[in-house]
Structure 1
């Protein structure tokens, strides 16, 4: 955004010149922001100078206490972007929540920094350190946003807390409605702001994080401010950092007709007599094809339908390849072929590829497609989504335990599960629209049909 000149119209829309309207307020905000950053940096530097060992112990044993050495090595080797975010998050945790063990006494780090002998700080800097310590870290859901200006956010750990409007120019440009993230808010004279620490999470991860926090707090006999801050702060940090330390687990793909894990299997056979092999395959009632096009062994189904069990292809003058989508089908196909073909073939080797392995994913190529005009593509996609979601309330959904959304909303737990799914849908559409332009698909008709209100 271009810098506003003193004589330009004020961006607030008052009709006055900038110098006659908001210039002093904006200058104060810039100055305050500088004092805030300086105060946090000075407090951290002072704590590390005077309580270096205690600070290190708190970070290692509390903030990073849930990770083993291998995971810590990954965390310490994070690339510059996440590493910079981690430094900010740890620094804010230190001055807002950390408890240091000083000569056998547990003392809040911020009390040491603000106490006698602490660093020299301007008044605004001291007030900021107090402000960021007033509220613990929490999980916030975006209810509404104006990009470049601010957000309306709801605290998911304090159900009765009102929606808070925060001024936030940067995050409001990247977030979308229903995003959930870990953060801390602080009150300024002109309203609430995010304090700087941010824990971006995919929507499903913070929902799991919320449940773990609430369960752990429920197990505590008493929950004072110190326990609450430690449980909430470390759990959110754990879930955020686990995104970097977890080894990606590729989902297991299951064959639709058999329920067996998909393992793309190719058996190679040496053929000694093509005439004999061709004759015996032509005589099989469950085989179609010929030597030129290849053969398909099929399984009859209802209504004259059938599905493939194996495909056989001549690859060279003396080689036959037999492809099956699962190991079980491949083993059956090998036994069947060796029985009917006899000495006409001889097994040579087997290839197996996991369809979700990095090798398979890297080798996968997109098939060439004709370019579709963007307007037509958007229209077709919207019509498809409309038809699909028209039926959705009446169809069993695995994420709802096999219940239909209409049935699920009859209970409190099921109602919340349906709401979370609808938020997932809207979040996905909003991100897709932001990335590729256009308008997100409107799921409002589903909320209405299911009698739900957007919280």
Structure 2
């Protein structure tokens, strides 16, 4: 039995001689430029992206063909319903009619009710968010995620059509710039972009192009941006393990560490290693493919590393070779005979990511979940509070406080905060403290709560 949204009959109908050429023209508009640029065949996209995304992209192009009027005002849905509509159920005919006038646009997702609905704000046509009834997609969507989709109305309820593409921030910027160019719009604030339906219909292939131009290089190269800490040192994660000497007890070690002014205890078994020299600005490499950042305590004091007592071993964790050398010397002098010769393991960013399991795994911390969550959230509070007064690339190298003082800057700050929340929500383990962090206070602090919609 056919489902309400079964388009199999229509797909077969589009294979007829009088529609094949038109369908091929649409496919060329969606894929031709990208395939030429990457020297790939359409079939090879499945090998790179996976069959699911290949078929989703094909579906986006197919739905575009269904909504177009070709030479002489011909439309495939009109033709199909006239010739074969009697074969379809009333629900399917209604769905096809809705597709006939549908438009692909870019939406921002909010107020998700898993298995039921979400709000979608049109980023290209403007207006208030609309309620979309959706079961499957809402189980994987995240707050503030951006999706390219066709929203159609059936029986007074808005639903998603078949082709839905998740858009990263890079793909969104690529799309926005491309849409402005092909529609003759000036590079104005994204909040002011308001396309007419005809212009949006003309831009339909660019959604596929933008998604592919973002996804393919990442999958083909699989490279990460260069990462550096506050001092400009390349990220190279060091774990220095100090086995306790015979006769030494964890309490003895803790007592010695209490005398080191650079160490601040977060619990009986965990210490933050702080920079005792005056804090200096984060080293900026000045390159778009280099990320520079670090963690600070409240008040802006940099955190150089963490020290934790685990199963009779004192573990120093830092993010550079220079800090590993400094930390090893610091602890060796402070602990003297209490520890044996340390053992060091080193991981690059790529190795660290590859060593992580693909999905949520068991918690590794010895701390109770509520204590761990409190410590992580306090650390994030300090980190984000310091960032509010530091230059941020997404804000044109202005600090969030400075950017929030202008009308245009407020929109940029809202986009930045939505990006942070989305990255947090995408954590593979929803129970992890990083995923449960509440950004509400930052919206209030910067007085942009009215844009959190």
Asked if Structure 1 and Structure 2 have the same fold, meaning a TM-score greater than 0.5 normalized by the shorter chain, the answer is: yes
3-state SS of 1:432 partner: coil
Match of 1:418 among 413, 421, 435: 413
Q: Does 1:393 align with 2:388?
A: yes
Note the C-alpha offset of 1:436: 3.4
**Corresponding residue for 1:275?**
none
**Corresponding residue for 1:374?**
369
Is the Cα contact below 8 Å between 2:102 and 2:151 reproduced in 1? yes
TM-score (normalised: structure 1): 0.62
**Corresponding residue for 1:173?**
139
CA distance in 2, matches of 1:362, 1:430: 21
For the aligned residue pairs, the C-alpha RMSD in angstroms reads 3.9
CA distance in 2, matches of 1:384, 1:200: 31
Structure 2, unaligned stretches of length 5 or more?
187-194, 237-276, 281-319, 323-346, 357-363
**Corresponding residue for 1:16?**
none
Q: In 2 relative to 1, CA 175–391 (structure 1 residues): closer, same or farther, beyond 3 Å?
A: same
Is the Cα contact below 8 Å between 1:408 and 1:414 reproduced in 2? yes
Is the Cα contact below 8 Å between 2:430 and 2:436 reproduced in 1? no
Q: In 2 relative to 1, CA 123–417 (structure 1 residues): closer, same or farther, beyond 3 Å?
A: same
Structure 1, unaligned stretches of length 5 or more?
1-30, 264-301, 306-323, 327-353
3-state SS of 1:391 partner: helix
The one-character-per-residue Cα deviations of 1:292-339 (angstroms, maximum 9, x if unpaired) are xxxxxxxxxx99x9xxxxxxxxxxxxxxxxxx989xxxxxxxxxxxxx
Is the Cα contact below 8 Å between 2:171 and 2:213 reproduced in 1? no
Note the C-alpha offset of 1:168: 0.3
TM-score (normalised: structure 2): 0.62
- By relative contact order (CA 8 Å, sep 6+), the higher-ranking structure is 2
Q: In 2 relative to 1, CA 386–325 (structure 1 residues): closer, same or farther, beyond 3 Å?
A: closer
Is the Cα contact below 8 Å between 1:43 and 1:95 reproduced in 2? no
**Corresponding residue for 1:108?**
75
Match of 2:439 among 438, 443, 453: 443
Range with greater deviation from structure 2 (441-450 or 247-256): 247-256
Note the C-alpha offset of 1:178: 0.5
**Corresponding residue for 2:119?**
152
CA distance in 2, matches of 1:63, 1:214: 18
Note the C-alpha offset of 1:157: 0.6
Q: Does 1:129 align with 2:96?
A: yes
Note the C-alpha offset of 1:173: 0.8
Aligned length: 329
**Corresponding residue for 1:252?**
226
CA distance in 2, matches of 1:76, 1:51: 28
Larger Rg: 1
The one-character-per-residue Cα deviations of 1:120-161 (angstroms, maximum 9, x if unpaired) are 4333322221112223011111121111111111111111x2
Note the C-alpha offset of 1:409: 1.5
